[in-house]
Amino acid sequence: MNISIIVPLYNEAESLPKLYEWIARVMKENKFSYEIIFVNDGSTDESWQVIRELKDKSEEVKGICFRRNYGKSAALYCGFKAAQGDVVITMDADLQDSPDEIPELYRMITEEGYDLVSGWKQKRFDNKLTKNLPSKLFNATARRVTGIQLHDMNCGLKAYRKEVVKNIEVFSEMHRYIPYLAKNAGFTKIGEKVVQHRKREFGTSKFGLNRFVNGYLDLMTLWFLNKFGKQPMHFFGLVGSVMFFIGFIAVIVVGSMKLYALSNGVHAMLVGVNPYFHIAILMMILGCMLFLAGFLAELVIRNSPSRNDYLIKEEI
């Protein structure tokens, strides 16, 4: 099979028939063998009924229905697991992604050798104040942290080599950083294509401004897991040791100053009421706690069944 098209959706019943017809037309024109996997993320409208009707019309249609709303990452995870095509395409169900982009995305994967190609909606029709400006700031930060030079990391229209989706795990709300997950898994040939952005025809957007706050937190989580996920002691142990050492030196300094004052008959405050002494002791305690946290994290990693999970590219 050439292409698997994964469409996560939530309350998009009105747009699904038109999206299906559009995809089917593009596939037929380019003579692709394909499947369309609609992942219904707990919709409360008639989305699942529409998918069942589309399935009756076409054997290329497949459907996955969640009992409740779990989020886009869960939908993509299940879609990736079910995909059988050599190239996997993801796109949103709101008709803002154009299926006409699929042939070129497929060509970039199969002929130019990309592992992943992300869409870039260079000209957008969203609200500039609530979406465009925060999105630009968000993507600038993501480029800085991940080292992946994509203008629109969270674009829903992406193409993947099959090996990529079978070797990454999308969890929580990490769908925003799939290129980073792919890079961390060793799939480093990541490209970008300018794609058409269309105005929403039906329904309303399912994402609010809180996604930017959550996005930054998720980005920091991914960075930390990639950097120290296998060796947490390298972070907690180092920071804890430095804090303990600084606190220990500070205690010696405070004590030495007190002894010097006593030996020279100079009045000095009691060590117990000196604020610097308490700050130094606090740093030593925090340093010990961080070191212990790193030690316990290492014990957890050592007993994890995935501690020796490595992605093998090829064996001969």
Phi/psi of residue 150, each to 5°? -110, 140
Lowest mean pLDDT among 4-18, 79-93, 257-271: 257-271
> How many other CB atoms are there within 10 angstroms of residue 272's CB atom?
7
At 187 the three-state DSSP class reads coil
Q: 29 pLDDT exceeds 80? A: yes
Topology of the domain comprising 3-228: Spore Coat Polysaccharide Biosynthesis Protein SpsA; Chain A (3.90.550)
What percent of the chain lies above the pLDDT cut of 90?
Answer: 54
Q: 169 pLDDT exceeds 80? A: yes
Q: Do 38 and 62 meet the contact criterion of CB atoms below 8 Å apart?
A: yes
CA 59 – CA 20 distance, rounded (Å): 12
CA 37 – CA 42 distance, rounded (Å): 15
With vertex at residue 152, the alpha carbon angle to CA 43 and CA 69, rounded to the nearest 5 degrees, is 15
Give the up-direction half-sphere exposure of residue 202: CA atoms within 13 A in the CB hemisphere.
Answer: 17
Q: Do 189 and 112 meet the contact criterion of CB atoms below 8 Å apart?
A: no
Task: Please report which confidence band the pLDDT of residue 212 belongs to, taking 50, 70 and 90 as the band edges.
Answer: low
Q: 128 pLDDT exceeds 70? A: no
The one-letter amino acid at 210: N
CA 309 – CA 316 distance, rounded (Å): 19
Residue entry with tokens 């907690």: 236
